[in-house]
Amino acid sequence: MTKSIKFTETDFKNRVRMCIEIHFKEEGLSTNNIIPITVSKMTKTMGYFQSRGKTPLKLNFSHMLLNGAYDLDGVDEIVLHEVIHYMVHMNGYYNQGHNHRFKAMCHKHGCSLDGTHSNTQRTAIYDDVLARESKYIIKCDTCGKLFYKDRICGLVKNPKGYKHDSCGYGMTRIK
């Protein structure tokens, strides 16, 4: 099991600012007017960079990054991923998503390319929070993998009618 890390909101925001300053300087970008850094109650998205047209608005992160749901390397990976979106924008490329410019900058700065943070390590706290905050939980009858849902969908209504892609067996709704 990986070791979780907890932050106060102030410490977390300072860590994000430090990441921005380090990586912006490497790119020759100004750190004079860093956009607001916010923390919200998101549970499935760990962070996003928000802009409107050419105007950067904010970096928003999930409270789960502060409460021990990820180890320190995982937190840093997610923060860097969102900071890279911000850097691509500040280099004059707007609304780029995960295109070739974003991927090239990820590679340059040592960040995962896939955008899913698959190299990060979640802790047991992550699953506990999802289990508590999700409206529905579906479990694979064979491997036990849990699927967390917040909206009614076919899987929630009729889990027996679906098969888990990885093992090909049915599902059961447990919440």
Query: Is 87 a member of any domain?
Result: yes
Judgement on whether residues 146 and 167 belong to the same structural domain of the protein: yes
Judgement on whether residues 112 and 42 belong to the same structural domain of the protein: yes
Is residue 133's pLDDT more than 80? no
Query: Is 50 a member of any domain?
Result: yes
- Give the phi and the psi of residue 78 in degrees, each rounded to 5: -65, -45
Query: Is 4 a member of any domain?
Result: no
For the chain, what is the mean pLDDT?
85
Judgement on whether residues 100 and 47 belong to the same structural domain of the protein: yes
Judgement on whether residues 46 and 111 belong to the same structural domain of the protein: yes
Is residue 89's pLDDT more than 90? yes
Q: What is the pLDDT of residue 122?
A: 62
Is residue 118's pLDDT more than 60? no
Judgement on whether residues 147 and 75 belong to the same structural domain of the protein: no
Across the range 23-42, mean pLDDT stands at 89
- Our count of domains for the chain comes to 2
Distance CA 20, CA 41 (A): 23
Judgement on whether residues 51 and 119 belong to the same structural domain of the protein: yes
pTM assigned to the model: 0.72
Distance CA 118, CA 85 (A): 17
Distances (CA, A) of 159 to 53, 151, 169, 175: 41, 14, 11, 12
Q: What is the pLDDT of residue 123?
A: 61
Domain span at residue 20 reads 9-123
